[in-house]
Amino acid sequence: MPASFRWRIPLAFAVIVFAAWYAFPLSTRINLGLDLQGGMHLVLKVDTSKVPPDSRSQDVAAIALEIIRNRIDQFGVREPLIQRQGVDHILVQLPGITDRDRALKLIGQTALLNFQLVSENQRLIQQALDGTVPAGFELSEDEQGAPLLLETEGALTGTILADAYVEAGEFGLPEVSFRLTKDGAKAFGRLTGTHINRRLAIVLDGKVQSAPVIQSRITDAGRITGRFTREEAHDLAIVLRAGALPAPIAIEEERTVGPTLGKDSIRAGILATAAGGALIVVFMAVYYMFAGLVAVFALLLNFLIILGGLGYFGATLTLPGIAGMILTLGMAVDANVLIYERIREELRGGRPLSLAVAAGYEKALSAIVDSNVTTLIAAFFLYWFGTGPIRGFATTMGIGILASMFTAIFITRILFDLFLAAGSLKRLTMLHLIGATSFDFIGKHKLCYALSALMLLVGVGAFVLRGNARYGIDFTGGLLQEYRFSEPVSADRLRETLSKVGLGDAVIQQFGSPTEWLIRSSAATDAAIEQATSLTREALRSDFDVLSPELTRLERVGPTVGAILQQKAWLAIAWSLVGILVYVAVRFRHWDFGTAGVIALAHDVIVAAGGLCLLGRQIDFITVAALMTIAGFSINDTIVIYDRVRENLRLHRKMGLAEAINLSVNETLGRTLLTSLTVIFAVVALLGFGGEVLRDFSICLLIGFVSGVYSTVYIASALVITWRRLFEPKRA
């Protein structure tokens, strides 16, 4: 083995050991996203407009964050994520939470506790009932609905509490007992000691919980009674211990996944990974034989490095992340195919096997690096602008791209050198189904431009005509609920049930089996979304109680958040295009290559988005991830051709650009078709086994990848000629 490559073995060994250490055991190293294990994702907005004037100098959102953190910690959620976003937003992720309503109440309850004296002045009570509440009082009612006039002056708040806990009260019913702080005991003693035989109302968030008569001076403890269940009493004690929120909070975004759907997603992800991997393995082993087996071994290590990378960075594996892993495995073959086709060319030129292998790796290196860096650019901006599962997809893609470069350049080279040095590799046999071609691709550019213009026109037309219906709730705001029943139900019966509660305009869609249904509701305000959620739940429980309706997934996005997410999605695409344009222009030392490549990938993105609209599908953040993957794949193929053009122009200095492009496209045609085939294998596996959640994502990828093959061969290279003829006639 050549001395210059001996350092590769310890490096490869170190990377493999490192990856294995951080990958296993999977149950503790790899964090599963909420979409795989179930749980809640919330974006909360602190309503700072409701903060009292004397408290506006405080950082209310940071205070609210700590109170919410204390509540959740006492609730017992394993590994929650609670962090601030921007000025007045808080991100909360609760893995494994199954009781959505209880969690929302625990987090969102203001828990403002007041102790207020009850007025017995009948004249003032009647005046308040007549509509004029006297100054210094407020009108309320007790737990039986009887009116109460409460004094506002001299009221004590929950800040006097030192602790709160659940105890069994009268008849064994749960009640919340509390202990007072030192200063609180003095204040409470003064209040109760001077008003013996008067009623004292215990008011929580404006609602009277109880109003007992003060029988003696109280300086140490008290209790709050009411019609509590044990869970309600437990949660009330938690929020009282943690303290009241300094301002009301509203839920602007919620994504809840039930544990059943999470398990289904894991099963679908494993099936899709196994199916996609099997197709790729069989193809490589059959087509490239020994070299294919080397590539398969590299793919296995690639998979290990991805898992190790996720473990090392503490990244979260999501369902889109699994999709990214499958796509990465498909795209990882690209580098191997590029190297093997180069080795084939060198062997055909009469070089000995060892020199052919060395030349193959050397000549493929620049194309491998350039094509993968452009995909990394797309993954970076997707992570930068994305949230939740989309960041999981971008992370997995980024780690996978780096891993595929390492295994293709280092691992497979080590294996070839070892076999060559041992003398056990005498010849390299590979199938060759796609022979040498000599098509005039540039000569057909006008026809292809016309065809592309037609496809773009149809796609843009479909996009425009669908209006806001083209977007999912990620971008428009609204409510999506997925329910699962124990037996099949009909759409007509579901619609009839929803119509009873004023939700007859909701879009009802069967999702997978006849027992699973999606209910989409548009809503203009957060309050309308909350109302639609509760009305749907109550209506289904009323009419379908015997069929055990289970809420397996809920996504609610406020209109403000939806607009922000839509803006972020387009910014991610725009910045990716700019980043790729600059990189390609710098690498090929001219803007014509970069501009032509970006126009071609924009062509593929528009065709894919238009295809989704034509099929009646919706565009959301996960399909934006697919569009950016298409962009990376499209420019990947294009760069391979550009790299060959650069090489041919260097080798054949008298050859014209059009002739060099035709030659380069023909020389790389086999590689283009083969790598596209392996990636399409991965997409087909996702489409067949990835489940309904990834259906639109998979369809988008399939359309875009097919378009990418076409644009790579017929559009990207021809645009370089057109650009020079239009803008640089002398150079052309």
CA 681 to centroid of chain Cα atoms: 23
Residue 447 confidence (pLDDT): 93
User: What percent of the chain lies above the pLDDT cut of 90?
Assistant: 19
At 626-665, the pLDDT tens digits run 898 888 888 888 888 888 888 888 888 888 888 988 999 9
CA 657 to centroid of chain Cα atoms: 43
Is the confidence at residue 264, as pLDDT, over 90?
no
Lookup: tokens for 408: 């293709």
User: What percent of the chain lies above the pLDDT cut of 70?
Assistant: 97
Helix (H) or strand (E) run with residue 708 in it: helix 695-711
Q: What is the DSSP letter of 158?
A: G
Confidence of residue 563 (pLDDT cuts 50, 70, 90): confident
Q: How are beta strands 156-157 and 31-32 bridged, if at all?
A: unpaired
Residue 19 confidence (pLDDT): 93
Residue 604 confidence (pLDDT): 93
* Residue 708 neighbours by CB distance under 10 Å: 31
Residue 361 and residue 368: Cα distance in Å, rounded?
A: 10
Q: Does residue 593 sit within a domain?
A: yes
Residue 367 and residue 362: Cα distance in Å, rounded?
A: 10
Q: 471 - beta bridge partners?
A: 619
Q: Does residue 385 sit within a domain?
A: yes
Residue 638 and residue 632: Cα distance in Å, rounded?
A: 10
Residue 123 and residue 128: Cα distance in Å, rounded?
A: 9
Least confident piece of the model among 296-300, 358-362, 653-657: 653-657
Residue 73 confidence (pLDDT): 85
pTM, entire model = 0.81
Q: What is the mean pLDDT of residues 278-296?
A: 91
Helices (H), 243-318: 259-288, 290-313
Residue for token pair 């019913």 = 173
- Under DSSP, is residue 24 helix (H, G, I), strand (E, B) or coil? coil
Residue 476 and residue 496: Cα distance in Å, rounded?
A: 26
* Residue 449 neighbours by CB distance under 10 Å: 15
Average pLDDT, the chain: 86
* Residue 696 neighbours by CB distance under 10 Å: 19
Residue 535: how many CA atoms within 13 Å on its side-chain side? 18
584, 598 contact by CB (below 8 A): yes
Residue 190 confidence (pLDDT): 92
Give 87 or 465, the one with higher predicted confidence: 465
**HEC letters along 477-525:** CEEEEEEECCCCCCHHHHHHHHHHCCCCCCEEEECCCCCEEEEEECCCC
The angle that helices 621-651 and 353-385 make with each other, rounded to 10 degrees, is 140
Q: Order the strands of the 161-168 sheet from edge to edge.
A: 161-168, 174-180, 221-224
Q: Does residue 17 sit within a domain?
A: no
Query: Which residues have C-beta within 8 Å of that of residue 172, sequence separation ≥ 6?
Result: none
Residue 56 confidence (pLDDT): 54
With b for 16 or more beta-carbon neighbours within 10 A and e for fewer, the 426-442 pattern comes to: eebeeeeeeeeeeeebb
CA-CA-CA-CA torsion sign (358, 410, 585, 576) = positive
Q: Are residues 533 and 520 in the same domain?
A: yes
What's the burial of 205, exposed, middle or buried (CB within 10 Å: 0-12/13-18/19+)?
Answer: middle
At 117-168, the pLDDT tens digits run 999 898 998 898 888 999 999 999 887 888 899 998 888 888 888 888 898 8
Q: How many structural domains does the chain have?
A: 4
- Helix (H) and strand (E) counts in the chain: 24, 19
Which residue, 232, 244, 250, is CA-closest to 92?
A: 250
Q: Which of 52, 87, 108 represents a domain boundary (last residue)?
A: 108
At 175-215, the pLDDT tens digits run 888 899 999 999 999 999 999 999 999 888 888 888 888 98
Q: Does residue 29 sit within a domain?
A: no
Residue 372 and residue 383: Cα distance in Å, rounded?
A: 16
Q: Are residues 100 and 128 in the same domain?
A: no
Q: Are residues 98 and 220 in the same domain?
A: no
Helix (H) or strand (E) run with residue 83 in it: strand 81-85
Query: Which residues have C-beta within 8 Å of that of residue 365, sequence separation ≥ 6?
Result: 409
| CATH number of the domain within which 524 lies | 3.30.70.3400
* Residue 100 neighbours by CB distance under 10 Å: 18
292, 285 contact by CB (below 8 A): yes
Region of 653 please: left (phi>0), alpha (psi -120 to 50) or beta. alpha
Q: Are residues 628 and 572 in the same domain?
A: yes
Residue 682 confidence (pLDDT): 87
Q: Are residues 571 and 701 in the same domain?
A: yes
Q: Does residue 9 sit within a domain?
A: no
Is cis: bond before 25, omega within 30 of 0?
A: yes
Q: Which amino acid is at 135?
A: A
Q: Does residue 436 sit within a domain?
A: no
| CATH number of the domain within which 363 lies | 1.20.1640.10
At 716-729, the pLDDT tens digits run 888 988 888 877 66
Q: Phi, psi (5° rounding) for residue 182?
A: -60, -50
Residue 395 and residue 322: Cα distance in Å, rounded?
A: 11
Q: Phi, psi (5° rounding) for residue 137?
A: -135, 165
Residue 109 and residue 98: Cα distance in Å, rounded?
A: 19
Q: Phi, psi (5° rounding) for residue 524?
A: -90, -20
Give 560 or 287, the one with higher predicted confidence: 287
Domain holding 50, by residue range, is 39-108
Q: Which of 557, 580, 604 represents a domain boundary (last residue)?
A: 557
Q: Are residues 407 and 337 in the same domain?
A: yes
Residue 449 confidence (pLDDT): 93
Q: Does residue 13 sit within a domain?
A: no
Q: Are residues 281 and 200 in the same domain?
A: no
- Rg of the chain on CA atoms, in Å: 32
Residue 355 and residue 24: Cα distance in Å, rounded?
A: 39
Q: Which of 75, 93, 108 represents a domain boundary (last residue)?
A: 108
Residue 79 confidence (pLDDT): 78
- What's the N-to-C CA distance of the chain in angstroms? 47
Q: Are residues 449 and 502 in the same domain?
A: no
What's the burial of 726, exposed, middle or buried (CB within 10 Å: 0-12/13-18/19+)?
Answer: exposed
Q: Are residues 406 and 277 in the same domain?
A: yes
Residue 589 and residue 608: Cα distance in Å, rounded?
A: 30
Q: Which amino acid is at 433?
A: L
- Under DSSP, is residue 228 helix (H, G, I), strand (E, B) or coil? coil
Q: What is the DSSP letter of 52?
A: -
Residue 380 and residue 397: Cα distance in Å, rounded?
A: 9
Residue 36 and residue 620: Cα distance in Å, rounded?
A: 19
Q: Does residue 101 sit within a domain?
A: yes
Q: Are residues 416 and 516 in the same domain?
A: no
Confidence of residue 57 (pLDDT cuts 50, 70, 90): low
Q: Are residues 341 and 278 in the same domain?
A: yes
Lookup: tokens for 173: 């019913």
93, 34 contact by CB (below 8 A): yes
Residue 508 and residue 504: Cα distance in Å, rounded?
A: 10
Q: Are residues 598 and 664 in the same domain?
A: yes
Q: How are beta strands 316-317 and 249-257 bridged, if at all?
A: unpaired
Q: What angle do CA 552, 556, 562 make, to 5 degrees?
A: 145
Is the confidence at residue 590, as pLDDT, over 90?
no
Residue 34 and residue 526: Cα distance in Å, rounded?
A: 23
Q: Which amino acid is at 723?
A: W
